[in-house]
């Protein structure tokens, strides 16, 4: 058996209960009008079963009287009324909509539409003669359907006309949604309903339930909500604050004024999203300009992002303005759009070498938060002075190779001189042959494209030619015949091989970025040191002159090898002196 009341004798069939206020004796039903088969809402005031007394009965009749004179699409029409054994009943047009009390998700545009529609209903009520003051605007009394049509219901506390309210009257309304003048039974104005609408919109935006509204209202009846809506536009915050001003004179005068002042800007602030949260740069050359692009996108539809860049002050940077910086530039420096590619240019010319710099870029916006920070990490290029390391293993091999070769050649010449009994002629021939062989090797190297190696071989050949000339002058006419020819033959072979080795080693040093002059010098000195050392161990050759030459060449080699680190240290010291004028990390 159904618990629904029997409205059939009055032309209606109850379908289900929509809501109830048992303490107030009011129950609302969805029913069907038998004559039209249209859905209707029946509000039943169960006077006999409630503790509301005659005030509830008055509210029932007041709502009927008010609704009979209203005709607005945002207010469900009054259709009929009748009395049953259980109480009085009022029939209204049914709207398939839910109250704002029901938890739903509204977009910023939806909330704005609700505000506009509710204000338009209030404008209609306030333009009545005399004006109608609802006195109980709250989430439960504002309905919104799927098409975002807004309806204002429950006119049981409504008043027709303003004026003083008797101090003995019972306060009618809902705590938290009543303006102070209504709470204290003072004169109501067209601004009075704005307070309830403002609080309702704040509940909607902050997702606060009606019964919890007291958590937002302080002792002075001021509604504190800004801390709950950090992303709400400042224009909307200002508008809502004026809607809920405790003093009626500080509120909008009426709904028309409030609607005219409604912000045209979206409710929500823009919100920026960066393609990168931190930027890491590494320079490969000193003084290099590094460029990188950061994309900024606005995440909130129907808003426009505005931004202006600034480099945060740093103790090491020279004084700068938001528009200029010593080594950081951003283009565009300011923008007004919802997607922008910002190019960040770093000029490392004034930065110290081989250091890590960290700076902060600030983007000041009209969004939430107002300022975004972007961390910038920059590693500068190494000190621009390379350490040119000599290939000591190759030089040692060259030294030993020339030493062994000198010993073998000297031994061959000694043996041939013993057999032919002409050691001086053989020695002179060897020197002359070496000069010739070195020049031949230089020619071959030149044809092969090893120009630096060819020069080294030419220099070595010239030195040997000078030694040959000295030998000829000191040896006289005895240095002729077969011994001389044998010596020349041995010298040509030895000189050719030596020239090829010299040229190849010099070319390898040049490939390792050792300067050409230094490459040629160090290889020639290494070869000479090897030759002199080899001669010291050869039979019949060791003389004080050879020993002295060996010691001198060794000292010359050491001085040449020390040139590179000394020169680098000198350059580094000069650079460090220059760095004192650069920007520190």
DSSP assignment string, 94-121 = ----EETTS-----HHHHHHHHHHHHHH
| pLDDT for 240 beyond 60 | yes
Q: Please, which residues have CB within 8 angstroms of residue 383's CB and are 6 or more apart in sequence?
A: 353, 354, 572, 575
* Listed range (48-62, 244-258, 323-337) with the worst mean pLDDT: 48-62
Q: Please, which residues have CB within 8 angstroms of residue 234's CB and are 6 or more apart in sequence?
A: none
- Euclidean distance between CA atoms 360 and 355, whole angstroms: 17
Mean pLDDT over 147-166 rounds to 76
DSSP assignment string, 121-185 = HHHHHHTSSS-EE----SGGGEEE-TT--EEE---TT-EES-B---TTSPP-S-TTTS-HHHHTT
* Listed range (165-174, 246-255, 383-392, 405-414) with the worst mean pLDDT: 165-174
Q: Please, which residues have CB within 8 angstroms of residue 241's CB and are 6 or more apart in sequence?
A: none
SS3 483: helix
- Euclidean distance between CA atoms 100 and 94, whole angstroms: 17
Express as a percent the part of the chain with pLDDT over 70: 79
DSSP assignment string, 265-283 = S-SBPP-EEES-SEEEEE-
Instruction: Delimit the CATH 3.30.200.20 region(s) of the chain.
Output: 1-94
- CATH superfamily label, 272-379: Immunoglobulins (2.60.40.10)
| pLDDT for 413 beyond 70 | no
Query: In the structure encoding, which two tokens stand for residue 337, read together?
Result: 């759009």
Q: Which residues pair with 33 in a beta bridge?
A: 12
The H or E element spanning position 373 is: strand 371-379
Class of domain 99-268: mainly alpha
Pairing mode of beta strands 278-282, 371-379: parallel
* CA–CA distances in Å: residue 259 to residues 196, 237, 413: 15, 15, 118
- Euclidean distance between CA atoms 492 and 499, whole angstroms: 10
1-94 is a CATH 3.40.50.1820 domain: no
* CA–CA distances in Å: residue 191 to residues 201, 257, 346: 16, 10, 58
* Angle subtended by helix axes 192-206 and 234-243, to nearest 10: 140
Q: Note the pLDDT of residue 165.
A: 40
Q: Mind listing the pLDDT tens digit for each residue in 478-527?
A: 445 676 677 777 777 877 787 778 778 888 888 877 778 777 777 777 77
Instruction: Delimit the CATH 1.10.510.10 region(s) of the chain.
Output: 99-268
Instruction: Delimit the CATH 2.60.40.10 region(s) of the chain.
Output: 272-379
Q: How confident is the model at residue 38 (pLDDT cuts 50, 70, 90)?
A: very high
Q: Note the pLDDT of residue 385.
A: 58
Q: Note the pLDDT of residue 298.
A: 92
* Listed range (44-48, 315-319, 429-433, 473-477) with the worst mean pLDDT: 473-477
| pLDDT for 85 beyond 60 | yes
For the chain, the average pLDDT equals 81
- Confirm if 441 and 496 have CB atoms less than 8 A apart: yes
How many C-beta atoms surround the C-beta of residue 351 within 10 A? 25
Q: How confident is the model at residue 162 (pLDDT cuts 50, 70, 90)?
A: low
Place of tokens 């972007």: 374
């Amino acid at each position: 058996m159904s618990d629904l009341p029997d409205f059939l004798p009055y032309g209606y069939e109850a379908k289900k209960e929509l809501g109830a206020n048992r303490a107030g004796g009011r129950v609302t039903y969805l029913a069907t009008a038998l004559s039209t088969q249209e859905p209707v809402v029946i509000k039943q005031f169960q006077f006999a079963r409630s503790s509301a007394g005659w005030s509830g009965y008055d509210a029932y009749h007041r709502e009927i009287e008010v609704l009979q004179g209203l005709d607005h699409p945002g207010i469900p029409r009054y259709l009929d009324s009748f009395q049953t054994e259980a109480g009085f009943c009022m029939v209204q047009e049914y709207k398939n909509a839910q109250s704002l009390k029901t938890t739903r998700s509204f977009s910023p545009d939806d909330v704005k539409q609700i505000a506009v529609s509710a204000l338009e209903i209030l404008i209609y009520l306030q333009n009545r003669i005399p004006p109608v003051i609802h006195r109980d605007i709250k989430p439960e009394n504002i309905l919104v359907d799927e098409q975002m049509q807004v309806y204002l219901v429950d006119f049981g506390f409504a008043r027709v006309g303003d004026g003083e309210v008797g101090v003995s009257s019972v306060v009618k309304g809902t705590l938290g949604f009543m303006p102070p003048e209504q709470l204290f039974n003072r004169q109501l104005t067209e601004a009075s309903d704005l307070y309830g609408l403002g609080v309702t919109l704040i509940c909607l935006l902050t997702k606060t339930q009606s019964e919890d509204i007291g958590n937002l209202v302080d002792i002075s009846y001021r509604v504190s909500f800004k801390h709950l809506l950090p992303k709400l536009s400042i224009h909307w915050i200002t508008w809502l604050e004026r809607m809920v001003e405790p003093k009626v004179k500080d509120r909008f005068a009426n709904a028309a004024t409030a609607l005219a002042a409604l912000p045209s800007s979206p409710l929500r602030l823009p919100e920026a999203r960066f393609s990168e949260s931190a930027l890491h740069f590494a320079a490969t050359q000193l003084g290099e300009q590094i460029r990188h692009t950061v994309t900024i996108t606005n995440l909130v539809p129907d808003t426009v992002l505005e931004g202006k860049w600034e480099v945060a002050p740093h103790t090491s940077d020279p004084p700068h303005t938001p528009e200029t910086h010593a080594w950081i530039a951003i283009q565009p420096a300011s923008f007004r759009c919802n997607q922008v590619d910002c190019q960040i240019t770093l000029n490392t010319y004034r930065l110290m070498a081989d250091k890590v710099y960290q700076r902060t870029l600030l983007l000041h916006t009209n969004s939430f938060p107002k300022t975004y920070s972007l961390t910038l990490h920059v590693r500068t290029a190494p000190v621009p002075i390379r350490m040119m390391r000599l290939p000591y293993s190759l030089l040692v091999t060259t030294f030993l190779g020339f030493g062994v070769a000198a010993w073998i050649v000297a031994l061959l010449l000694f043996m041939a001189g013993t057999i032919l009994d002409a050691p001086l002629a053989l020695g002179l021939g060897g020197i002359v042959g070496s000069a010739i062989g070195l020049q031949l090797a230089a020619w071959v190297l030149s044809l092969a494209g090893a120009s630096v190696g060819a020069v080294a071989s030419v220099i070595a050949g010239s030195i040997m030619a000078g030694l040959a000339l000295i030998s000829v002058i000191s040896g006289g006419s005895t240095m002729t015949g077969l011994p001389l020819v044998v010596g020349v033959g041995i010298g040509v072979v030895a000189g050719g091989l030596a020239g090829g080795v010299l040229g190849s080693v010099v070319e390898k040093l040049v490939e390792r970025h050792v300067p050409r002059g230094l490459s040629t010098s160090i290889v020639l000195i290494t070869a000479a040191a090897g030759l002199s050392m080899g001669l010291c161990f050869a039979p019949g050759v060791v003389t004080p002159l050879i020993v002295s030459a060996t010691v001198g060449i060794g000292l010359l080699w050491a001085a040449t090898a020390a040139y590179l680190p000394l020169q680098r240290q000198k350059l580094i010291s000069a650079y460090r002196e220059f760095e004192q004028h650069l920007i520190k990390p």
